[in-house]
Chains A and B, each alone.
Chain A
Amino acid sequence: MRSTSPGLCEASFRRRALPLVIGLVAALCGVLVWGQEDVRCLGCHGKPGFKKVLPSGQVLDLFVDPTLIRLSVHKERHCADCHADVNEVPHKELPQKVNCRRCHYQGNTEGAPQTKRYLEFENSVHGKALKAGNTKAPVCQDCHGDHFILPGSDPRSNVSHANVPQVCGGCHLQIYGQYRESIHGKALARGVKDAPVCTDCHGEHTIAKPEDRTSSVNPGNVSNTCAKCHSKIVIMERYGISAEQVATYNESFHGIANEFGVLKAANCASCHTAHDILPPDDPRSTVNPKNIPKTCGKCHPGANANFANGRIHINAKERSAGIVFWVALGFKVLTISTLLGLFLHIGLDLFRQIRTSRARAKGGDKAGEERS
C-alpha cells in the first residue's frame, strides 16, 4: 500500500474511482449506442465508391461522408431522423425522397428554425409545379443540398450569395450561361459583394412566374425590383452608375404607362434584357447605341439609327440633358414671369376697384365721376 498523501487509502480511492469508471463506461456505451444507429447505415453508405448502376445506365453515387454531416447544421441528427422510412438494414426498397417538413415547420419542437418558408414555397412556381406532379421540380434539398447543409451566411453553403447562380443553374442552364456573361455575373465572379444573384431579383421561396402579378419580375414590378439597388446612391456610386435611372424611367412615357397598368409598355428588362445585361459600351449590349434601333424596334417597328440620337434616360432638370434642359428652363421662366405679370395686373385692377368703390361710398359725386 502506498502512503503518498494522508487520507488516500485504497478504500477511498476505490470509492472515488468507481463512479468515475462506471460513468465512463456508461458514456462509452452511450456513445456506441448513439453512434450504433448510424454505424449500421454507414456500414454500406460509409464506404467510398458505394454506388448503384441503374438499368438505364445511370450511376447513383450512394456514398455519404459522415464528416460532412458532422460539420453541417444537422450534426446532431441521425440518418433515420430524415430517412424515416428506413426501418431495417439492409433496406429492401428505395427510400422515398426526404420530406424536410418533418421538422421544418412553424411551431416545431425539433429544434429546427421557426419559419413559414415552407408555406411560401408551396405558393411559389416551384411548389406549384411540384404539386402538379412535375418530377423535375426542385424540393428543399435540390437547392440547399442534402448532407452538407449550412446557413446562407456560410460561404461554403449551397445557398450562400456567391453560390446561388450555380445552384439555380443546375436546372436553368441556359440562363445561367447568359448570366455569367452579363455584367452582374462578371461582377460576382470578381467577388463584388453588391452583385445581384438570381434570388436578389426573383426571390428565394417566393419565386413566381413573370406572368403572375405578384411576381417581382412581372412587367409591372420590374422597375421596383431593379430599384432595390439602382436607385440607391450609396451602392451606385461605387460603380460609377447614375442612381437616377429608375426615377427617369418612371417619369418617361414608358414608366407612366406602366404605372397606369399598361403592362406591354417597356420596362427595364424590355430594353436591357433580363439576364444579358451589359453596359452600353459593350458592343454586344442591347443598349449599345449601334443596337438601339433593334432594341427599340421590338415594339416600335421601323426604328432607325435616329432613335439613338438623344439620351434615353433623360432628366430635363439636369444640364446633361443638353438642349432639353434649356427648353425646360425657358418654359419655367416663361411660366413664372407670365403668371406673375397676370397676377400683378389682376391685383392692381382689384386694388383700384376697391379704392374707387370706397371713395364713392364716402365722397359721393367727386369720386363717382371716376368709374373703374
Chain B
Amino acid sequence: MSTASTGGWRPKDAEAVVSAMEAKVSETLASEIPTDLSAEEAARLRQSLLDSLPREAAQDARRLCRLFTNKRERLAKAEEKRLRKEAHAEQCVERLSLHLRVQHLIMFSSCILLIVTGLPIKFHDAAVSRIIMSFFGGPSVTGLLHRIGAVGLTFIGLYHIYYSMAFETGRRDFGLLMPKLQDAKDAVQQILYFLGLKKDKPLYGRFSYIEKFDYWAVYWGMVVMITSGYILWFQETAINQFGKFAYDIAREAHSDEALLATLAIVIWHFYNVHFNPKRFPGSLTWWNGKITVEEFKEEHALEYEEWRLSGKIPQEEESSTGTLGRRGE
C-alpha cells in the first residue's frame, strides 16, 4: 500500500480494517442473501462479495489516510502561520504614533477631494472632466466640495504647525526634519550606491533625505495652494486689495502647483510606499504605524542604535498584537 504520507497509517492497519469489514459482511450475508437462491448460487454470491472486499476496504482506507494527513498538514500550516505572525509581531516597532497617523489621514482625505474636484477645472477641455463634473452634480457643487477640502486642508495644516510646537514628539520630529548638510552627503552616497560605485548604503536616522524631501515638498505645496486658493476663493477682496495681477499670479501658481503636487504624490510617494519592489503591494505603516525590526535596522540604522541603547527595542517578549507591518520573507 502506498501510504507515503508522513506518520499515521501502515499496511497492517489496512488489513485490520479489511478483517473487520469481512466479519461485518459475513453477518450481513447471513441475513441478507436471498433465501431462494440455491446453495451454489448463494455460495458464489458470497464469494464474489468477499473478493471485492479487500479492494473496497483498501480504497476506503486510503481515503481515510488522505483525509487524516491532509487535515494534519492543514493544521500544521495554520499553526506555522500563526507562529510566524506572532514572531513578526514581536519584531514590530511603532514608528508613527496615532497622533501622526490621524493627521496624515485627514490630510490625504482632503487632498484627494481637492485633486478630484480641482483637476477637471484645470483640464476643462478633456471629455473626462465633463463626466467628473456631472458626476458631482455640476460646477457649483464641485466648487463647494473643493472648498470643503480646502477648509480641511487648512485646518490640518494649522493643526500640524500647532502640533510641531506644542507637543514634545512634534517638536522632536520637526527638529529632526530640518535639512542638514549630511542629507546632501547621504544623497550623493545613495546615488553612488545605486550606480554600484559604493558598496554600502548610507546610514539614516529617523528621517532620510527622501522623507525630509517628502515632508518639505508637501509643506511648500500646502503653503502655495492654501495661499493662492484663498485668493481665488475670495477674489473680490483680493483683487480690491492687491490688484488683478495678484489674482492672475495666484491662479497660475494654484494651477501649476496642483499638477506638480499631484504628480509628485502619485509618482514619487506612491513608489516609495507601494510600488517599490521591497514594499509591493503596499505598506500598512500609515494605518497601524508599525514597521518590522529588520526594516527599522535597515532603513533607520542610526535611530535603531539609539533605541537599542535606550532599551526601547522589544527583545523576545510580546510587545504588541500581531499585525502585518511588512510582508514576511
Contact residues of B between 119 and 137, Cβ < 8 Å to A: 121, 124, 130, 133
Q: Is the beta-carbon distance between B121 and A256 smaller than 8 angstroms?
A: yes
From A43-51, A122-130, A351-359, give the one contacting chain B.
A351-359
- Of all chain B residues, which has the CB nearest A344? B191
Contacts of A106 in B (CB 8 A): none
Distance of A311 Cα from B298 Cα, bound (Å):
55
Contacts of A314 in B (CB 8 A): 248
Among B217, B257, B268, contact of A331 (Cβ-Cβ < 8 Å):
B257
* Residue B83 CB within 8 A of the other chain: no
Contacts of A363 in B (CB 8 A): none
Distance of A261 Cα from B298 Cα, bound (Å):
55
Q: Chain A, 337-372, contact with B by CB distance < 8 Å: what is the 0/1 string? A: 011001101101111110100000000000000111
Q: Is the beta-carbon distance between A307 and B239 smaller than 8 angstroms?
A: yes
Among A260, A307, A372, contact of B124 (Cβ-Cβ < 8 Å):
A260
Contact residues of B between 204 and 224, Cβ < 8 Å to A: 210, 217
Distance of A335 Cα from B264 Cα, bound (Å):
9
Among B248, B259, B260, contact of A310 (Cβ-Cβ < 8 Å):
B248
* Residue A15 CB within 8 A of the other chain: no
Q: Is the beta-carbon distance between B244 and A308 smaller than 8 angstroms?
A: yes
- Of all chain B residues, which has the CB nearest A343? B267
From A200-208, A235-243, A317-325, give the one contacting chain B.
A317-325
From A4-12, A33-41, A93-101, A296-304, give the one contacting chain B.
A296-304
- Do A371 and B245 contact each other (CB < 8 Å), given the known contacts A339-B263, A342-B264? no
- Do A260 and B138 contact each other (CB < 8 Å), given the known contacts A310-B244, A346-B268, A349-B194? yes
Number of chain A interface residues as a range? 35 or more
Instruction: Give 10 A-B contacts (CB < 8 Å), ordered by A residue.
Output: A257-B139, A261-B139, A300-B236, A304-B240, A306-B241, A321-B248, A324-B245, A331-B253, A353-B278, A372-B278
Contacts of B130 in A (CB 8 A): 260
Q: Is the beta-carbon distance between A303 and B240 smaller than 8 angstroms?
A: yes
Distance of A99 Cα from B241 Cα, bound (Å):
63
What's the minimum C-beta distance from A326 to chain B, rounded to whole angstroms?
Answer: 9
Q: Is the beta-carbon distance between B239 and A306 smaller than 8 angstroms?
A: yes
- Do A335 and B263 contact each other (CB < 8 Å), given the known contacts A260-B124, A309-B243, A310-B244? yes
Contacts of A324 in B (CB 8 A): 245, 248-249, 252
Which B residues are closer than 8 A to A by beta carbons? 121, 124, 130, 133, 138-140, 191, 193-196, 199, 210, 217, 235-236, 239-249, 251-253, 256-257, 259-260, 263-264, 267-268, 271, 276-278, 298
Q: Is the interface of B mostly helix, strand, loop or mixed?
A: helix
Distance of A324 Cα from B247 Cα, bound (Å):
10
- Of all chain B residues, which has the CB nearest A353? B277
Q: Is the beta-carbon distance between A307 and B244 smaller than 8 angstroms?
A: yes
- Do A303 and B245 contact each other (CB < 8 Å), given the known contacts A256-B121, A259-B124, A334-B260? no
- Of all chain B residues, which has the CB nearest A262? B139
Distance of A251 Cα from B40 Cα, bound (Å):
105
- Of all chain B residues, which has the CB nearest A300? B236
- Do A260 and B133 contact each other (CB < 8 Å), given the known contacts A308-B244, A310-B245? yes
- Of all chain B residues, which has the CB nearest A359? B196
Q: Is the beta-carbon distance between A261 and B138 smaller than 8 angstroms?
A: yes
Q: Is the beta-carbon distance between B248 and A352 smaller than 8 angstroms?
A: no
Nearest 7 interchain pairs by C-beta: A310-B244, A309-B243, A310-B245, A331-B256, A348-B194, A352-B194, A260-B139
Q: Is the beta-carbon distance between A311 and B260 smaller than 8 angstroms?
A: no
Contacts of B278 in A (CB 8 A): 353, 372
* Residue A332 CB within 8 A of the other chain: yes
Contact residues of A between 276 and 323, Cβ < 8 Å to B: 300-304, 306-312, 314, 316, 321-323
Contacts of B194 in A (CB 8 A): 348-349, 351-352
* Residue A328 CB within 8 A of the other chain: yes
Q: Is the beta-carbon distance between A348 and B138 smaller than 8 angstroms?
A: no
What's the minimum C-beta distance from B209 to chain A, rounded to whole angstroms?
Answer: 10
Q: Is the beta-carbon distance between B257 and A303 smaller than 8 angstroms?
A: no
Contacts of A334 in B (CB 8 A): 260
- Do A307 and B240 contact each other (CB < 8 Å), given the known contacts A259-B124, A261-B138? yes
Distance of A324 Cα from B244 Cα, bound (Å):
11
Q: Is the beta-carbon distance between A335 and B267 smaller than 8 angstroms?
A: no
* Residue A189 CB within 8 A of the other chain: no
Distance of A204 Cα from B138 Cα, bound (Å):
34
What's the minimum C-beta distance from A237 to chain B, rounded to whole angstroms?
Answer: 26
What's the minimum C-beta distance from B275 to chain A, rounded to whole angstroms?
Answer: 9
Contacts of B245 in A (CB 8 A): 309-311, 322-324
- Do A338 and B264 contact each other (CB < 8 Å), given the known contacts A306-B240, A312-B244, A349-B276? yes
Q: Is the beta-carbon distance between B244 and A335 smaller than 8 angstroms?
A: no
Contacts of A233 in B (CB 8 A): none
- Of all chain A residues, which has the CB nearest B272? A346
* Residue A140 CB within 8 A of the other chain: no
- Of all chain B residues, which has the CB nearest A324? B248
Given contacts A302-B240, A335-B256, list 13 more A-B pairs with CB under 8 A.
A260-B139, A262-B139, A262-B140, A303-B236, A309-B245, A310-B248, A316-B252, A323-B249, A324-B252, A327-B249, A327-B256, A351-B195, A353-B277
Q: Chain A, 32-72, contact with B by CB distance < 8 Å: what is the 0/1 string? A: 00000000000000000000000000000000000000000
Contacts of A327 in B (CB 8 A): 249, 252-253, 256
What's the minimum C-beta distance from A316 to chain B, rounded to whole angstroms?
Answer: 5
Distance of A355 Cα from B267 Cα, bound (Å):
22
- Of all chain B residues, which has the CB nearest A372? B278
Contacts of A348 in B (CB 8 A): 191, 194-195
What's the minimum C-beta distance from A62 to chain B, rounded to whole angstroms?
Answer: 60
What's the minimum C-beta distance from A302 to chain B, rounded to whole angstroms?
Answer: 6
What's the minimum C-beta distance from B286 to chain A, rounded to whole angstroms?
Answer: 20
What's the minimum C-beta distance from B157 to chain A, rounded to whole angstroms?
Answer: 21
Contacts of A350 in B (CB 8 A): 277
Q: Is the beta-carbon distance between A342 and B236 smaller than 8 angstroms?
A: no
- Do A328 and B244 contact each other (CB < 8 Å), given the known contacts A335-B260, A339-B263, A371-B298? no
Distance of A372 Cα from B249 Cα, bound (Å):
44
Q: Is the beta-carbon distance between A309 and B244 smaller than 8 angstroms?
A: yes
Contacts of A372 in B (CB 8 A): 278
Among B195, B241, B252, contact of A328 (Cβ-Cβ < 8 Å):
B252
